[in-house]
Chain A
Amino acid sequence: MKFSFSWLKEHLDTHLNAIEISEKLTSIGLEVESFNDASLAFRDFIVAEVIEEKKHPNADKLKLCLVDTGKEKVDVVCGAPNVEKGMKVVYAPPGSIIPVNQMKLKVSKIRGVESQGMMCSEYELGISDEHDGIIRLDDSVKVGSSYAEISGMNDTFFEIGITPNRQDCLGVNGISRDLSASKSGNYLRKEFSKIDGSFDSPVDVKIEDQVMCPAFASRYIKNVKNCESPDWLKSKLKSIGLRPISALVDITNYVMYDQNRPLHVYDADKINKNIIVRSAKDKETLKALDEKEYALSKGMCVIADDMSPLGLGGIMGGESTGCSENTTNVLLESALFDPINTAKTGRKLSILSDARYRFERGIDPLSVIRGIDQASQLISEICGGEFSHTVVSGSIDDTKKSFEISVNKINKRLGLSIEKSEVIEILSSLGIECKEAGEKINCVIPTWRQDIDCEADISEEIIRIKGYDFIPQSNIRSSKKINESILNYRQKNLSKAKRYIASLGYNELVTYSFANSKDCNFFGNIDNLRIVNPISEDQDILRPSLIPNLLNAIKKNQSRDIENFEIFEAGSQYTSSTPGDQFNSVIGLKSGINKKKSWRHAEQQYDVYDIKNDIVNLIDYLIPNQKKITLDDESPEWMHPGRSASIILNKKIRLGYFGELHPRVIKSFKIKNKVNAFELFIDQMPESARKLNSKVDINLSEFQSVKRDFAFVVDQHIRALDLEESAKKVDKDLIRDVEIFDIFEDESLGPNKKSMAIKVTIQASDRTLKDNEIQDICSKIVKSIEKSTSGSVRS
């Protein structure tokens, strides 16, 4: 909401200056968003007269003018088509700052001729978009006078944010009323002279639905002249960013901003007999004043004549009955419309208008008659005309809300101890009538405060006017603990996981919870993940997996010449768009070069084993004790079928996957290198009833250990685990460790064969093993592996 200081002063007798008013506004909840002292911005601009005008010697479109500034006569080069001799203009001398671009004007040569300053357009002064020509001032203005003064720009302009509850401050009148409550001056209630009607309105207004439209006041005015508005009115509207149109339209806009009272004026000659306020019918249409055609539907409130809708009640008038310069007879409307219905209709049709904005927030019912009176007075002054009697169809409900409040409870809510007398003083200043009833006060709420409904609302009014600064600061630390724990098991795991993974060299990314459905073919059914109104086509579903977003991140970074990636994200994935159908996943990706080729070593690419190590270590970090991790071949579709596996915890819980991403996936994202990934379903981590802190006993043998190497020729499909398990089961106590240290394939081994070498560590906990014991174990190991793998030991 924009307004000027001078406009405010029409409603408020104040001794405060603009800065003080600005601070006061913010402190009572009318937050000043911008504050502009135009008298400073326009300080340098003066009224001047063009006394000579001739063609520029070196340019066809430029003119060379001699300008009288009141003090001196200067040469000014001007390109405006409308400049002419004798014209009064706005002159900006060298050194002044042009508001629209904040450029400081200098004496400069334009096509070889020196120009001392410039003559300005409204655009250059930042007061409108008009830049086709320079401003032509009225002939009566005095050369040399300050432009700010003669234009009414010698003013301060405020723009305040009005929260949705404060409908009463959507007019300058209401803002002044609120300021006066905060002791910023005396509220001056404007009174309007009643213009007596001399005949009965020939247009009959009938309300079919009194819920949609409780009241409709109207007045017929004959023989008006819809002229251009006088300067004072035009400059008022311009000062708040509105474009003057014609006197009738300008007057309704002015009343709306002055009194928060939306009005409408119909060209009465275009109304087909009578007015009916009714619900729209399906398939009816309306071409509104914004020149758009709207398809109406049942339940929307229309103002119609006998033929068709003329306007949308409380939202926007129609084009067909709009006023033009030829309008001579008009119907003036001042009505009440239901806030909810207005909001619904406006939302359905996506119409944002000043009227809708006000009606959906609730309008003071008492403004109906005041509005029609104020507009009548202005129309009579500016446009003339003969007025009918004012007719009110429906009824204006001016019942005031009332309820009891307790001063103690208000103090308990605010943490203050305000005396009852002060409470009454503040409330009275806001127009709330107070009647004492013991400790309690009965409050009668004025009709303009539609937002005040209960004691809590009153507490806000009190502290708002008294000042939030009066609230002390109390200690909130309590000796009694409320919560057993701050983070639950799952939250702790997620937090620990993030920092652990980062410690392994991964960079944490946060990607949008949306995904592009086209990227998600690999990730199951996505139909139930669609967003009805996505922000863009490539973010049209909830992400079924973090993978597509992470791959897009790789792709994007690839285009910035980054080719090696260690990235992860921990966040939610969705299984449907039903609340709760989401779970946390931790996904890590490694791609590209692990170790660069350098003076120290050869290049090494990331592979599946790097990522396997990371997820196994991560699980080990999160569940250090009493767990068994195994692999199985099952893995998601988006992974390479031969290079991926699931991780199974304690034979039951599928905790996640790791592997190389499917080449098809990589290709579809246009990624250069192989990508290795792990996914941990962190919410699946089982929580034990008691945290298992104690570790299993450790057996630290002091006796000598023996290491023996073996190599076997086995079939291609034999896995490392097969050899390890086969060796270990020979003697679980004595065989401490089995490690694969070499694998190679060679034609000499035979078709589909490979050689695998293991190093076995043998150690007893109670004695040094004798040669024959060791020999015995070794031959058992050979036998066991040969049997289980159908392979043979290499000698």
Chain B
Amino acid sequence: MQNYKDLEKNIEKDFSSVSSLETLQEFRLSYLGKKGKISLLMKELSSLDADQRKENAEQLNILKGKILELIDTKDNELQELILNEKLETEKIDLTLNVESKQGTIHPITQVIDEVIEIFGDLDFFVAEGPEVETDYNNFTALNTSENHPARQMHDTFYVKTETDGMPNVLRTHTSPVQIRSMLEQQPPIRLIAPGKTFRCDNDQTHTPMFHQVEGLVIDEESNMSHLKGCLEIFLKSFFETSELKMRFRPSHFPFTEPSAEVDIAYTRKGNQLIIGDGKEWLEVLGCGMVHPNVLRNVDINPDQFQGYAFGMGIERLAMLKYGISDLRTFFDNDLRWNKHYGFQPLNTPSILRDLS
């Protein structure tokens, strides 16, 4: 029994000199290895009688347990030390950067998607038509006869092909889509038609190609108050404001009667336009009740059906909403501009989440 007291002292003494994982291993082997002191004493137990064996075994197991505990604690301690030293050496310079590539969606695509989202929610489907049009669809069917003064305001591009003896044109507005759609479909009709349009004009505020979105509703009862209601929802949703002062002004388009231009109120704050309220007015779109002659031209009975149409410029909407000051930059394709004004691809407009 005395032996064990000494042994315990020796253990403590030997353990106190452990300072590394290697010496800890040596310590473990010197007691618990095959030829370790505890292991040898355990072997000797077999020569003792049962009572003594039991008593000694108990003592030895206590010692063994103690050694294991010491080793375990020390091991953790040493591992921790080593890890800390390692972490210290692994410190890196996080101010360095790596390259990442972010693609962009052009503002025209983004705004058209926003417009589609809003009108889609109001049950307008997206109609399309060709960019080269017949003179008939672009003008005549829209109540703009060959010598109508309004034609001169359109600066039309002509191509070399003809339809029914008249040269085809690059559509000057998206309105011919109205004609194509009404020829294809009977009322009720609810559609929008975004797309490219062309006019032979190139200066500070005009580009020979630009984008419009057309809207058309034909049924038995849609009237000017619906037109007003429709545009109010659209403009409020698009400009993401619950307050929007809107003004309808009489105007003239050959294919609508009555016709109106719509202004929205704004305030100027430095370079920024605050849309929705203020004393200044900005023209944003043209609209009106579809002219009975247009309905007759597509074999829709104007005594039974009526409805409204509207049209607006996509670039103008984009400029107002996103503070783009120069129309021509949309088609300059200066990549610095595209990266600045472009949109993140995941920024798909959504009625439920965010429009923009």
Contacts and interface: CB of A to CB of B under 8 A. Distances in A.
Given A472-B228, A503-B103, A164 B150 contact: yes
Given A456-B289, A471-B228, A557-B335, A412 B101 contact: no
Interface residues of A, number: 99
A476 B221 contact: no
Contacts of B233: 476
Given A460-B258, A533-B157, A495 B113 contact: yes
Nearest to B219: A482
B248 interface: yes
A432 to B, nearest CB: 16
B153 A572 contact: no
Given A414-B224, A532-B159, A599-B96, A486 B196 contact: no
Contacts of B101: 505, 566
Interface stretch (B3-11, B83-91, B336-344): B336-344
Interface stretch (A188-196, A313-321, A579-587): A579-587
B149 interface: yes
Interface string A430-461: 00000000000000000000000011110110
| Chain B contact residues: helix, strand, loop or mixed | mixed
Contacts of A576: 161
A509 interface: yes
Contacts of B104: 502, 507-508
Contact of A476 (B209, B230, B348): B230
Contacts of B134: 579
A414 B331 CA distance: 40
B275 interface: no
A414 B223 contact: yes
Given A164-B148, A510-B108, A557 B230 contact: no
A553 B33 CA distance: 78
Contacts, number: 260
Contacts of B148: 164
A531 B338 contact: no
Given A475-B229, A510-B108, A482 B334 contact: no
A510 B211 CA distance: 11
A542 B202 contact: no
B211 to A, nearest CB: 8
Interface stretch (B39-47, B62-70, B74-82, B119-127): B119-127
Contacts of A514: 208-209
B251 interface: yes
B230 A505 contact: no
B123 A579 contact: no
A507 B342 contact: yes
Contacts of A536: 202
A598 interface: yes
B37 interface: no
Contacts of B221: 412
B348 A499 contact: yes
Contacts of A495: 113
Interface in A459-498: 459-460, 463-464, 468-469, 471-478, 481-483, 485-488, 491, 495, 498
B259 interface: yes
Interface in B308-356: 330-336, 338-339, 342, 344-346, 348
B225 A472 contact: yes
Interface in A503-540: 503-514, 528-536, 539
Interface string B138-162: 0000000001111011000111110
B229 A473 contact: yes
Contacts of B225: 414-416, 471-474
A219 to B, nearest CB: 30
A510 B330 contact: yes
Contacts of B35: none
A31 B249 contact: yes
Most buried by A among B124, B132, B221: B132
A560 B336 contact: yes
A488 B157 CA distance: 30
Nearest to A469: B248
Contacts of A502: 103-105, 344-345
Given A457-B257, A460-B259, A468-B260, A505 B103 contact: yes
Given A343-B149, A474-B225, A459 B124 contact: no
Contact of B161 (A505, A528, A534): A528
Contact of B153 (A164, A482, A485, A532): A164
Contacts of B252: 29, 163-166
B280 interface: no
B174 interface: no
Contacts of A361: 149
Interface string A643-664: 0000000000000000000000
B149 A415 contact: no
Contacts of A794: none
Nearest to B344: A502
A166 B150 CA distance: 12
Nearest to B191: A483
B208 A512 contact: yes
Interface string B17-53: 0000000000000000000000000000000000000
Interface in A328-376: 339-340, 343-344, 347, 360-361
B190 interface: yes
Contacts of A567: 335
A528 B130 CA distance: 16
Interface in A374-428: 412-416
Contacts of A29: 249-252
B158 A531 contact: yes
A565 interface: yes
B123 A474 contact: no
A596 interface: yes
A469 B247 CA distance: 7
A45 to B, nearest CB: 30
A156 B188 CA distance: 50
Contacts of B173: none
Contacts of B250: 27-29, 460, 463-464, 468
A578 interface: yes
A123 B209 CA distance: 38
B301 interface: no
A567 B198 CA distance: 24
Given A415-B226, A502-B345, A533-B158, A456 B103 contact: no
A273 interface: no
Most buried by A among B128, B153, B258, B330: B258
Contact of A582 (B124, B132, B330, B336): B132
B258 A459 contact: yes
Nearest to A31: B249
Nearest to A572: B131
Contact of B190 (A28, A482, A503, A557): A482
7 contacts: A415-B225, A416-B225, A459-B257, A476-B222, A502-B105, A507-B103, A531-B170
Given A562-B336, A577-B168, 17 more contacts: A31-B261, A343-B147, A415-B225, A463-B258, A469-B247, A471-B225, A478-B123, A488-B126, A491-B126, A499-B345, A503-B103, A514-B209, A556-B332, A557-B333, A567-B335, A571-B196, A579-B168
Interface of A: 26-29, 31, 163-166, 339-340, 343-344, 347, 360-361, 412-416, 454-457, 459-460, 463-464, 468-469, 471-478, 481-483, 485-488, 491, 495, 498-514, 528-536, 539, 542, 553, 556-557, 560, 562, 565-567, 571-572, 574, 576-582, 595-596, 598-600
Interface of B: 96, 98-99, 101-106, 108-109, 113, 116, 120, 122-126, 128, 130-134, 137, 147-150, 152-153, 157-161, 163, 167-168, 170, 188-191, 196, 198, 200-202, 208-209, 217, 221-226, 228-230, 232-233, 247-252, 254, 257-261, 289, 291-292, 306, 330-336, 338-339, 342, 344-346, 348
Which are the 9 A-B pairs with shortest beta-carbon distances? A415-B225, A29-B250, A163-B252, A460-B258, A502-B345, A577-B159, A505-B101, A415-B223, A502-B103
